[in-house]
Amino acid sequence: MLIKFVLLLMVFIIAIYFMIAANHTRTEAWKKILFSIFVIFMVVATISPNITNSLANAVGVGRGADLLLYMLAVAFVFVVISIYIKFQEYEQRINKLARSIAVAEAEAREKQKITNY
């Protein structure tokens, strides 16, 4: 079963990548925990896909693949919103930075004018 090998390899790479990135940035603890659970789930679901099937049946969904799709849809929206908010925060920072540059430069120019008189 080549697909299992490929999927596990990808999960492994993603996990390593996250560890490195999380070390650099100050990722919040809950995000780390959430991600660890996610990785474990991915590994389990790859090794024995039947587990997702029984999980799906338990919540009233026909197939495990369908359940994954629904969860993916929700996760996607969540990610988009959090990126959007993050993006706005960065815009605010850039605004403040640009504003202080503009004011500082204007002040310097006015001082120059005065000394030229």
Partner 1 sequence: MNDSVYVIIPVYNEAKVIRKVVQEVLDVFPNVVCVDDGSVDNSVNEISTTEAHLVKHPINLGQGGALQTGLDFALLNPKAQYFITFDADGQHDLEDVKRMLTELKKSEYDIILGSRFLEKHSSVKVPFKKRVLLRLALWFTLFTSGLELTDTHNGLRVFNRKAAEAIDITLSNMAHASEILTIIRQKKLKYKELPVTIHYSDYSMAKGQSMFNAINIIFDLMVKGRK
Q: Which stretch, 15-23, 36-44, 53-61, 107-115, contacts partner 1 (CB under 8 A)? A: 107-115
The radius of gyration computed from the CA coordinates of the chain, to the nearest angstrom, equals 25
102 binds partner 1 (CB under 8 A): yes
107 binds partner 1 (CB under 8 A): yes
Closest to partner 1 by CB, 24 vs 109, is: 109
Residue 83 Cα to chain centre, angstroms: 7
The one-character DSSP state at 117 is -
Closest to partner 1 by CB, 66 vs 105, is: 105
CA atoms within 13 A on the CB side of 59: 13
For residues 56 and 74, what is the distance between their CA atoms, to the nearest angstrom? Answer: 16
Residues interacting with partner 1, by CB under 8 A?
88, 91-92, 94-95, 98-99, 101-103, 105-107, 109-110
